[in-house]
A and B are shown apart, each in its own frame.
Chain A
Amino acid sequence: DTAVSQTPKYLVTQMGNDKSIKCEQNLGHDTMYWYKQDSKKFLKIMFSYNNKELIINETVPNRFSPKSPDKAHLNLHINSLELGDSAVYFCASSQGLAGGPGAGETQYFGPGTRLLVL
């Protein structure tokens, strides 16, 4: 009964390719996130969606496009992959506004997708 799942777990691809990472949460949460963790373990938010609507969009190249078909899924599509995109990408979810103030902060992370661009 995995709470936040991501596929694939590993992704090795050539520069210039387009790839997608999928994320699903079965927690009934309203808000989902994508984070990038670089080789030095630094975690930085990329995007956040609440009920399928984009609410946080940090300075991320427009080659990265998130898509949320429903509130349980948030997929990340990356066009024209570059060497610097190599990292671990984490999906996360939180209850968001549904629980009211003080109820929705905890973010639950998926296991990560290790992307290597050659």
Chain B
Amino acid sequence: GENVEQHPSTLSVQEGDSAVIKCTYSDSASNYFPWYKQELGKGPQLIIDIRSNVGEKKDQRIAVTLNKTAKHFSLHITETQPEDSAVYFCAASIENYGQNFVFGPGTRLSVLP
């Protein structure tokens, strides 16, 4: 089955700096890769996603890149702000009946003012 690894497990950056979180997956059939942000006491919320037919996607300060050959994808946050502090999860799934996401273990991002 699919296995998703995520690094680093914790990340501290200064406000205004960039943050990068990397994930690798094992199943080459995976073709959908969402990123979720989980704030304290809340459920995960989708922030950006990418499909396997695209190498990069950007939404304001957030971007995701995908390297299908190497089976890894990354989240890039530029100009970080204190409200970006949260736990970030990557996931991989095969677009099929039921959407069985396999999540990475999460990265706790702290943006220091």
Residues of A within 8 A of B (CB-CB), count:
29
A79 beta carbon closer than 8 Å to chain B: no
Cβ contacts under 8 Å, B98 to chain A: 31, 48, 50, 55-56, 96
**Contact status A43-B103, CB under 8 Å:** yes
Interface string of B7-25 (1 = CB under 8 A from A): 0000000000000000000
**Contact status B46-A106, CB under 8 Å:** yes
- Contact (A105, B93) CB under 8 Å given A42-B103, A90-B43: yes
- Contact (A42, B100) CB under 8 Å given A90-B44, A112-B43: no
Cβ contacts under 8 Å, B106 to chain A: 41-43
- Residues of B in contact with A, size category: 20 to 34
- Residue from A42, A43, A48, A112 within 8 A of B99 (CB atoms): A48
Distance of A17 from chain B, by nearest CB (Å): 24
**Contact status B99-A111, CB under 8 Å:** no
Interface string of A87-114 (1 = CB under 8 A from B): 0001010101100011011111111100
Cβ contacts under 8 Å, B46 to chain A: 106-108
Residues on B lying within 8 angstroms of A by beta carbon are 32, 34, 36, 38, 41-46, 49, 51, 87, 89, 93, 95, 97-103, 105-106, 108
Residues on A lying within 8 angstroms of B by beta carbon are 4, 31, 33, 40-45, 48, 50, 55-56, 90, 92, 94, 96-97, 101-102, 104-112
Known: A94-B99, A109-B43. 15 other contacts (CB 8 A): A41-B105, A41-B106, A45-B101, A50-B98, A55-B97, A92-B43, A97-B97, A101-B95, A102-B51, A107-B99, A109-B36, A109-B44, A109-B45, A112-B41, A112-B42
